[in-house]
Amino acid sequence: MTDRSCLAIVLAAGEGTRMRSRRPKVLHEIAGRSLLAHVLGAVRAAGATASAVVIGPDSEAVAGEARRVMPGAEIFVQAERRGTADAVLAAKAAIARGADDILVIFGDTPLISPQTLVRMREALAGGAALVVLGFRPKDPSGYGRLVVENGELVAVREELDASAAERAIDLCNGGSVGFAGKTGLEILTRIENNNRKSEFYLTDAVAVARSMKLKAVAIETEEDDVRGINTKAQLAETEAVYQQRLRKAAMEAGVTLVAPETVFLSADTKFGRDVVVEPFVVFGPGVTIEDEALICSFSHMERAHVGRGARVGPFARLRPGARLGAEVHIGNFVEIKEAVIEDGAKANHLAYIGDARLGAGSNFGAGAIVCNYDGVGKYRTDIGKGAFIGSNAALVSPVTIGDGAYVATGSVVTHDVPADALAIARERQVNKENRAARLRALKRAAKTKAAE
Ligand code: UD1
Ligand code: CA
């Protein structure tokens, strides 16, 4: 395919009202990545040499996402929702520039695979003027039907316009369509809007191509490749399919998932070798886990890095900017945000470390916290190598704890602690002889009096 140029047009206009959401449909996410980003990823992998994204009016957010994912993509606006063929023609200027293959892909079919797009390009290279992607869904309702005669595609009929006999066809339109560059624009401009919805249907390209004595073909793929998302239920079904794929890929790459169906991954989760993930773990976007790390149950992480041989959880939360070095231990109910935990450091129980560095080999005690926020600003705490932060200490940022320093249990640290110093910042203990018994007697007397 490398010798043929390819323009990919992604349709992302249309308000997607059936999602019942203010968010544009193509910005909904599967495995932490927008539907649009999934489609653009497939387009890139299929070797597209130019890309166009068609958006609706006032869709700055969609345009922004397109530019973020694919800075080279050209953005076109479809002024009014007048059908899929009209949407393609919004990108007329890109089409007119000429490409050997023109692929049209719907922004709401996020699982489309690059291999399938390549197969469509092969059909065009083989002489077809038009190629339509078909599949046989378990439930065909809502999809257009492909009418095939003697190996050639003769029509695509939208369900609303189909006869009873046509509705019985189980081969459906997956949405993606490919045009040979030479005749594509002419076919598109000849499409009319004489159907029940008075829309310009991309699918009518088949009848037009045939009227021009051009060859149209259908190629078939799996349902999972072309799942269209029109509702929140379809979004969830597609998420489930994609999660299965991610789990399978992770296990094939050597990750041990003890109970794969309970682990949720992101499209960009990265694992090293011999990583073990216990049941019920959520990996949000931007997570990298290095070799031999152990992620225990009920941990949740996003935009975090876990170093080689580290142990996380159970019940740990790694928030954006958590960077754990090698052999680090982060235990139950510990939250880390925007903090570097250097090699071999430990925070094993009930702690919060935010906007900080925890030096190599240091120990952050049970219930200790970094007070990084005063209600207005955020401040940093720096803890040196081999330091010991006693249980229930509160480190009030900004503060620096030197290498090897020791902070006594229960201290509220507001001043820097020099290296190797012992900081005690709490009230001295006082024991009052027999006062416990007297206190109880007083309280009982008060209670009796109140009951009278
Ligand atoms: C479409 C197909 C149907 C196919 C199904 C597969 C047509 C006419 N129908 O139906 O045959 O089985 O997809 O999922 O092509 N869009 C625009 N502008 C418009 C209309 C749509 O950009 O004016 C975009 C939408 O954002 C969406 C895509 O085109 O990404 C498909 O539109 P949608 O309304 O979802 O079409 P379906 O009814 O699902
Ligand atoms: Ca759709």
For the Cβ of 200 lying below 6 angstroms from any atom of ligand 1, the answer is no
Q: CA-CA distances (angstroms) from residue 417 to 18, 29, 43?
A: 59, 46, 56
Partnered with residue 399 across adjacent β-strands are: 381
What is the pTM (predicted TM-score) of this model? 0.91
For the Cβ of 83 lying below 6 angstroms from any atom of ligand 1, the answer is yes
Tens digit of pLDDT per residue, the chain (452 long)?
A: 668 999 999 999 976 678 899 999 999 999 999 999 999 999 999 999 999 999 999 899 999 999 999 999 999 999 999 999 999 999 999 999 999 999 999 999 999 999 999 999 999 999 999 999 999 999 898 899 999 998 889 999 999 999 999 999 999 999 999 999 999 999 999 999 988 889 999 999 999 999 999 999 999 999 999 998 999 999 999 999 999 999 999 999 999 999 999 999 999 999 999 999 999 999 999 999 999 999 999 999 999 999 999 999 999 999 999 999 999 999 999 999 999 999 999 999 999 999 999 999 999 999 999 999 999 999 999 999 999 999 999 999 999 999 999 999 999 999 999 999 999 999 999 999 999 999 999 999 999 999 98
For the Cβ of 12 lying below 6 angstroms from any atom of ligand 1, the answer is yes
For the Cβ of 43 lying below 6 angstroms from any atom of ligand 1, the answer is no
Distance 338 CA to ligand 2 centre (A): 40
DSSP code at position 212: T
Q: Is the dihedral of CA 27, 32, 38, 41 positive or negative?
A: positive
Distance 266 CA to ligand 2 centre (A): 24
Give, using CA atoms, the residue closest to atom 10 of ligand 1. 143
Q: Which atom of ligand 1 is nearest to the CA of 106?
A: 30
For the Cβ of 417 lying below 6 angstroms from any atom of ligand 1, the answer is no
Say how many residues make up the chain: 452
Which tens digit of pLDDT belongs to each residue from 316-370? 999 999 999 999 999 999 999 999 999 999 999 999 999 999 999 999 999 999 9
pLDDT at 347: 98
Is 300 assigned a catalytic role? Answer: no
Q: Which atom of ligand 1 is nearest to the CA of 107?
A: 30
For the Cβ of 365 lying below 6 angstroms from any atom of ligand 1, the answer is no
Q: Which atom of ligand 1 is nearest to the CA of 14?
A: 26
For the Cβ of 81 lying below 6 angstroms from any atom of ligand 1, the answer is yes
Q: Where are the beta strands (DSSP E) in 150-208?
A: 152-157, 172-180
Pocket test for ligand 1, best of 9, 106, 203, 221 (most atoms within 8 A of CB): 106
Pocket test for ligand 1, best of 84, 112, 221 (most atoms within 8 A of CB): 84
| Catalytic residue (one of 38, 329, 349, 415) | 349
CA 239/CA 245 separation, integer angstroms: 10
Contacts of 384 (CB under 8 A, 6+ apart): 359, 362, 400, 401, 402, 403, 404, 405, 419
Among the bound ligands, name the one nearest to the CA of residue 16: 1
- Among 65, 57, 55, which Cα is nearest to 35's? 65
Residue 131 contacts residue 119 (beta carbons within 8 Å): no
For the Cβ of 85 lying below 6 angstroms from any atom of ligand 1, the answer is no
pLDDT at 142: 86
CA 142/CA 145 separation, integer angstroms: 9
pLDDT at 194: 87
For the Cβ of 262 lying below 6 angstroms from any atom of ligand 1, the answer is no
Q: Which atom of ligand 1 is nearest to the CA of 175?
A: 6
Among the bound ligands, name the one nearest to the CA of residue 193: 1
pLDDT at 3: 87
CA 356/CA 354 separation, integer angstroms: 5
pLDDT at 1: 60
Ion ligand 2: residue ranges with CB closer than 5 A: 108, 228, 230
Distance 84 CA to ligand 1 centre (A): 6
For the Cβ of 55 lying below 6 angstroms from any atom of ligand 1, the answer is no
For the Cβ of 87 lying below 6 angstroms from any atom of ligand 1, the answer is yes
Q: Which atom of ligand 1 is nearest to the CA of 230?
A: 35
- Among 426, 428, 383, which Cα is nearest to 406's? 383
Q: Which atom of ligand 1 is nearest to the CA of 12?
A: 26
CA 313/CA 325 separation, integer angstroms: 15
Give, using CA atoms, the residue closest to atom 13 of ligand 1. 175
Q: Which of helix, strand or coil describes residue 438?
A: helix
Q: What is the dihedral of CA 6, 12, 18, 21, to 10 degrees?
A: 140
Partnered with residue 312 across adjacent β-strands are: 295, 330
Distance 176 CA to ligand 1 centre (A): 10
pLDDT at 2: 63
Give, using CA atoms, the residue closest to atom 32 of ligand 1. 84
Q: Where are the beta strands (DSSP E) in 237-290?
A: 256-257, 270-271, 276-277, 282-283, 288-289
Q: Which of helix, strand or coil describes residue 255?
A: coil
pLDDT at 17: 74
